[in-house]
Structure 1
Amino acid sequence: MIRKIFSYIIPIKIFKKKSARSKIIEVTWANGELVLDSENTNYSYGSLQRILRYGLRNIGYDTILKMDHILLLGVAGGSVVKTLVDEIEYKDRITGVEIDPDMIQVANEYFNLNQIKQLELVIDDAFEFVLKTKDKYDLIIIDIFEDTHMPNFLFEKFFVDRICTLLNDDGYVLFNTMILDEAHNVRNRKYISEVNPKLFMTKMLPRIEVHNELIIIKKVA
């Protein structure tokens, strides 16, 4: 409790671990809450939770409550899962795909992710999982970073098309992207231009954080 109080004055690091996939994983008390970070960016809770909550609010909490199955590509500490379960009170299936087993271990120990009964955690590469899955989803949340880097496959047309085929009618994709330079702005505009406008509606949300931009895709029934 003392550390929590002092964290309003200065961040207090309580855990640090090297990871083969994520390089550095840190758990820190900051402004009265536990957050999960990599060496250079926020991975879960803190600003990242605010960003994804903003995206979910744009889709609409009432819309999300009617969904049957949500897919999360990139789990980290599970802050978006907590938003879905604790704030929106979503009751149905959540499948979370995370490539880094060290990250899941930390999420379970510090953020009690393993206590969420409706969450099925899969340790796998998101690209491989998307190719293999036979399920359809009402919402696919893409939140994949390697520190400040986003893997190139996320923006390739093949992957975008595959993700879109996994959506049920009226389903959504919520894609959290990192913008560090003008090339990333161009990349995002190109990404949106390659989504079939006859089958899908796309939009970029106004940024609430300087370096994050949310893209929403909706499949038109």
Structure 2
Amino acid sequence: MIQKLFSYLIPVKIFKKKSQRSKMIEVTWANGELVLDSENTNYSYGSLQRILRYGLRNISYEAILKMDHILLLGVAGGSVIKTLVDEISFKGKITGVEIDPDIIKIANEYFNLNEIKQLEVVIDDAFEFVLKTKDKYDLIIIDVFEDIKMPNFLFESFFSGHICSLLQNKGFILFNTMILDESHNVRNQKYISEINPQLFTAKMLPRIEVHNELIIIEKLT
């Protein structure tokens, strides 16, 4: 495909759409691969896939292969799902929660997300879903952005407490955050400090792809 070849020289935009939730969504060939971007940041594939892959490696692929059920809050184009299924060969169930139906349509059309049989996509607000779900999960991946902004509720103790309560024994949370100024550093430090050290371990993997910081939480028992 000529667009793919040209993309090794310059990015080639092939789709652009205004979304009610995400403002502008773009699909672009970049360095020979399709990526999904919002107006100011990468939403799926490209740098985001590298960031979350790094977090999954830190948890360990061996541990992930033994898991039964993974929850993803914030699906976008589904790059982390492709990493789980294609690279790690995860065979369990994946539940993906995405608030923006426009993004799921694009993910299905350009990234074949609907062909992944073990994936269930739920169109819902992450906050509402977490309060409603009755399931327990071995891994919860939090990747919720509105362009470069992260909703405040993600960092509130009420929400983090609910997220932690959904973990199976020895389960993990992989939380992708964006650091753009000192207030975000303070916010992340506060978040970590509020995790109960008797029940969980928590660590940060700082400055991945310049602006991202991963928080990994493990339930001890």
Q: Please report the TM-score for the alignment, with normalisation by the length of structure 2.
A: 0.99
Aligned residue number for residue 140 of structure 1 = 140
How far apart are the structure 2 equivalents of 1:34 and 1:95?
23
Matching residue's letter, 1:4: K
Aligned residue number for residue 3 of structure 1 = 3
How far apart are the structure 1 equivalents of 2:40 and 2:209?
15
Aligned residue number for residue 56 of structure 2 = 56
Aligned residue number for residue 150 of structure 1 = 150
How far apart are the structure 2 equivalents of 1:115 and 1:197?
40
Structure-to-structure mapping, 1:39-188, within 5 angstroms: 39-188=39-188
1:158-213 superposed Cα distances (whole Å, 9 cap, x missing partner): 00000000000000000000000000000000000000000000000142311000
User: Aligned to 1:184, what secondary structure does the other structure show?
Assistant: helix
How far apart are the structure 2 equivalents of 1:43 and 1:205?
20
Percent identical pairs in the alignment equals 81
Matching residue's letter, 2:36: L
Q: Find out whether 1:211 has 2:211 as its counterpart.
A: yes
Segments ≥4 residues shifted beyond 3 Å: none
* 2:73–2:143 CA contact under 8 A, matched in 1: yes
- What root-mean-square deviation, in Å, do the aligned CA atoms of Structure 1 and Structure 2 show? 0.5
Matching residue's letter, 2:20: A
Q: Find out whether 1:30 has 2:42 as its counterpart.
A: no
Matching residue's letter, 1:185: N
How far apart are the structure 2 equivalents of 1:25 and 1:115?
22
1:39-75 superposed Cα distances (whole Å, 9 cap, x missing partner): 0000000000000000000000000000000000000
Matching residue's letter, 1:65: L
Q: Please report the TM-score for the alignment, with normalisation by the length of structure 1.
A: 0.99
Length, aligned pairs only: 221
What are the ranges of 5 or more consecutive residues in structure 2 without an aligned counterpart?
none
User: Aligned to 1:207, what secondary structure does the other structure show?
Assistant: strand
What are the ranges of 5 or more consecutive residues in structure 1 without an aligned counterpart?
none
Aligned residue number for residue 201 of structure 1 = 201
User: Aligned to 2:213, what secondary structure does the other structure show?
Assistant: strand
* 2:206–2:212 CA contact under 8 A, matched in 1: no
User: Aligned to 1:72, what secondary structure does the other structure show?
Assistant: strand
